[in-house]
Amino acid sequence: MLKKEANKIVGGLSAPGKMPCPSINLPATACNVGAKLAKVPGTTCHGCYALKGRYNFKYTKIAMARRLAALQDSRWVRAMVVLMENRKFFRWHDSGDIQSAWHLKRILEVCKQTPDTQHWLPTRESGLLKFLDPEIIPKNLIIRLSATKVNGAAPTSWPWTSTVTDGKGKTCPAPDQGGKCKSCRQCWTRSIKNITYAKH
């Protein structure tokens, strides 16, 4: 399969300016947990960045809807594997989240087939991780379970997490680097158990 065909199958990758790598985004309105939290003040999804700004552009919405529909394509795993060729890092979902256990299973398969790519998958879908053994996920994948409340504690049900602060204590350097990761790769690093982001 050529990359041109792979891109067409998955609906294209996204290119968040902050990241050192591409991503693939889905509509934030399709998040199972996040869409509910977005309506609740004090949660990490309230005022979600993926519900405003460039994510509200007409053609961005069309592209995200296209990627969501593409998850049903039987060739999706193979196409994603092709698109990971020569990529050192990949971030799943700069907008949106895991849709189902079936979706998560397909992501895991992509990671298994691309051992030379370091994958980072942030999620609030704790229910989908309940029956997943952290020991059996591919070593090139880190799934970070996100806290649900701003200034709240990190989840305890999963070994790698992220939290959000509206004050001191952030460990993500992006706000001090023009909003970019630059050389930082903490989010992809398994030895770092929790990352704290500034609310944005």
Q: In this predicted model, what pLDDT tens digit does every residue of 60-118 receive, in sequence order?
A: 889 989 999 999 999 999 999 999 999 999 999 999 999 999 999 999 999 999 999 99
With a pLDDT cut of 90, the percent of the chain lying above it is 76
State the pTM of this model: 0.94
User: Under a CB-based contact definition with an 8 Å cutoff, are residues 109 and 75 in contact?
Assistant: no
Number of other CB atoms surrounding residue 59 within 10 Å = 8
What is the rounded average pLDDT of the residues 43-68?
A: 83
Strand, coil or helix: 23 = strand
State pLDDT tens for residues 110-158. Answer: 999 999 999 999 999 999 999 899 999 999 999 999 999 999 999 999 9
Q: What is the DSSP string of 149-177?
A: BTTPPPPSSSSSEEEEESSS-----GGGT
pLDDT (0 to 100) of residue 54: 77
Sign (positive or negative) of CA dihedral 47, 19, 146, 97: positive
* Of 49, 113, 104, 57, nearest in space to 80 by CA: 113
